[in-house]
Amino acid sequence: MSNLYIEKAEENILHTYNRYQIVFDHGEGVHLYDVDGKEYLDFAAGIAVQSLGYGHKEYTQALKDQIDKLTHISNLFYTVPMMEAAEKVIKASGMEKVFFTNSGTEAIEGALKAARKYAYERDGEANHEIIAMEHSFHGRSLGALSVTGNEKYQIPFRPLIPGIRFAKYNDLESVKSQITDKTCAIILETVQGEGGVYPVTEAFLKGVKALCEEHDLLLILDEIQCGMGRTGYMFAWQEYGVEPDIMTCAKAIGCGVPVGAFVLGKKAAESSLKAGDHGTTYGGNPFVCAAVSKVFDLYEKEKILDNVRAVGAYLTERLDGLVEKYDFLKERRGKGMIQGIEVEGRPVGEIINRCLENGLVLITAGSNVLRFVPPLIITKEDVDCMVEKLERSF
Ligand SMILES: *Cc1c(COP(=O)(O)O)cnc(C)c1O
Q: Give the CATH number for residue 176.
A: 3.40.640.10
Residues 258 and 225 in one domain: yes
User: Ligand 1: does its nearest atom lie under 6 Å from the Cβ of 193?
Assistant: yes
139 CA to centre of ligand 1 in angstroms: 5
CA distance 244 to 305: 21
Tell me how crowded residue 22 is: count the other CB atoms within 10 A of its CB: 17
Judge if 188 and 284 occupy the same domain. yes
Residue 1 has pLDDT above 90, yes or no: no
pTM for this prediction: 0.98
Judge if 358 and 229 occupy the same domain: no
84 lines ligand 1 (CB under 6 A): no
**Residue 28: domain span:** 2-56+303-393
Q: Judge if the beta carbon of residue 137 lies within 6 A of ligand 1.
A: yes
Note whether 243 and 192 are same-domain residues: yes
Residues 68-124 have pLDDT tens digits of 999 999 999 999 999 999 999 999 999 999 999 999 999 999 999 999 999 999 999
Q: What does the pLDDT read at residue 309?
A: 98
Q: How far is the CA of 224 from the centre of ligand 1 (A)?
A: 6
Percent of the chain with pLDDT over 90: 99
Q: Are residues 186 and 87 in the same domain?
A: yes
Summarised one tens digit per residue, pLDDT across range 223-253 is 999 999 999 999 999 999 999 999 999 999 9
Domain count across the chain: 2
**Which ligand 1 atom minimizes the distance to the CA of 48?**
15
Domain assignment present for residue 61? The answer is: no
224 lines ligand 1 (CB under 6 A): yes
216, 243: one domain = yes
189 CB less than 6 Å from ligand 1?
A: yes
- Considering the domain architecture, whether residues 322 and 338 belong to the same structural domain is answered as yes
Q: Ligand 1: does its nearest atom lie under 6 Å from the Cβ of 250?
A: yes
Residues 308 and 280 in one domain: no
Are 296 and 226 in the same domain? Answer: yes
Q: Does any domain span residue 64?
A: no
